[in-house]
Amino acid sequence: MTKKEKKKEEVFFVGVKEPIEIRRNILEASREMVLLLQLYEKFKAVREEKRHEMEKLRGLVREIAQLVSRLKKHLPKTSLRALPLGEIKRQVKEVEIREKVPVHFVAEKQEEKTLTEELTELEKLEAELASIEQKLNHLA
């Protein structure tokens, strides 16, 4: 017999203290690894779905851009420009406020605006404090 064959035949046994506890730890670690692998597979699926949705979105954006360019070709040339979105929202709010608030109250607010433009920061705070106190007095 050669040395290699002798080494193969020699079997070593090692005593393991608390084999049930070690087996439990190994099984728990294996279970955690399986759970992590499941989470990773879910993550990969979500990533693939996201990629697919992003591709769909890119296609839709390209299509919209093409449709807008076609629409612009068919519209007449003009020098008129649309109002900025913020200006439109402000005008809509003003109309809504005018419909809800009595006319005399709107006039008072406009007078307050002209006064506050001329006042310093300290005077503005004092006027605001007086206004709040006046409102509290009306409530009491």
Of the three residues 27, 59, 76, the one that is the final residue of a domain is 76
Tell me, yes or no, whether 70 and 36 share the same domain.
Answer: yes
**Whether residues 35 and 62 fall in one domain:** yes
Q: Taking residues 98-110, report their average pLDDT.
A: 57
Q: Taking a C-beta distance cutoff of 8 angstroms, is the pair 127, 116 a contact?
A: yes
Residue 127 neighbours by CB distance under 10 Å: 14
In one-letter notation, the amino acid at residue 25 is N
Full DSSP string of 1-58: --HHHHHHH-------SSHHHHHHHHHHHHHHHHHHHHHHHHHHHHHHHHHHHHHHHH
- Taking the CA atoms of residue 43, residue 48, residue 53 and residue 54 in that order, the dihedral angle to the nearest 10 degrees is 100
In a domain, residue 64? The reply is yes
Residue 8 domain-assigned (yes or no) = no
Same domain, 95 and 124: yes
Q: Is residue 3 part of a domain?
A: no
Question: Structural domain of residue 38, as residue ranges?
Answer: 17-76
| Residue pair 106/97 in contact by the 8 Å Cβ criterion | yes
Q: Is residue 106 part of a domain?
A: yes
Residue ending a domain, choose from 76, 105, 123: 76
Confidence of residue 7 (pLDDT cuts 50, 70, 90): low
Banded pLDDT at 103 (limits 50, 70, 90): low
The per-residue pLDDT for range 46-101, each reduced to its tens digit, is: 999 999 999 999 999 999 999 999 998 988 887 777 667 777 777 777 776 666 65
In a domain, 11, yes or no: no
Which of 28, 51, 76 is the C-terminal boundary of a domain?
76
What's the domain count of the chain? 2
